Amino acid sequence: MNIVIRDATADDFPILFEISAIVHQRDYGGFIPADERAEFNARYELTDENRDSFVALCHERLALGTWHYVVATNEAGEILGYTQALQADEHHLVKRGMFVRPEYQGQGIGSHLMKISLEGVESGRVDLFVLKKNVRAQKLYEKYGFQSQGLADHTFFGAPLIKMSLKKP
């Protein structure tokens, strides 16, 4: 499959919400403690209200000029996955999620998105947070040189996170 990587446009945001919601429900829901699951499910339910909130947040972030959204598409233009990152400062990038449609997972799309995300980082540090129980994602990040910094000081709906960092000279 030929994968095309491009910057996301405002027209993509509703599709990015759909991918995010599906991946969160399918892949992350089992990691969320029972007492937090109702709030998690409500946040990632495929509703118009949630979609509109997500799209508005994407617009707000882009307006700041420090957020970047990148999509992976097939030759037909179907969005297969995306990643988002915050350029915290000149030498510090914070990856804020990478999501691939379930039916395309394991086909190298996450690797393509990771490569393009790191291409623009010449020096400094890249941080990300990953669910402690999401070993598959941790292995992908380690493949690109990220190292665990231990447990994060915050959680994702009560689920422990690991902070991972990549330092570039």
Instruction: Indicate the domain borders of the chain.
Output: 4-121
Whether the full predicted model's pTM is greater than 0.95, yes or no, is no
pLDDT at 9: 95
Can you tell me which residue has the tokens 């992976």?
Answer: 72
Q: What integer pLDDT is reported at residue 169 of this predicted model?
A: 79
How far apart (Å, rounded) are the C-alpha atoms in residues 90 and 68? 14
Q: How far is the first Cα of the chain from the last one, in angstroms, to the nearest whole number?
A: 34
User: Tokens at residue 42, please?
Assistant: 């409500």
pLDDT per residue, tens digit, the chain (169 aa), is 899 999 999 999 999 999 999 999 998 999 999 999 999 999 999 999 999 999 999 999 999 999 999 999 999 999 999 999 999 988 899 999 999 999 999 999 999 999 988 887 878 999 999 999 999 899 999 999 999 999 999 999 999 999 999 998 7
Positive or negative: CA dihedral 54, 55, 60, 64: positive
pLDDT value, residue 22: 96
Residue 8 phi, psi dihedral angles, 5° rounding? -70, 150
* Angle ∠(122,129,24) on CA atoms, nearest 5: 120
Q: Which CATH number fits domain 4-121: 3.40.30.10, 3.40.1160.10, 3.40.630.30, 3.40.710.10?
A: 3.40.630.30
pLDDT, residue 1, reads 81
Q: What is the pLDDT of residue 32?
A: 95
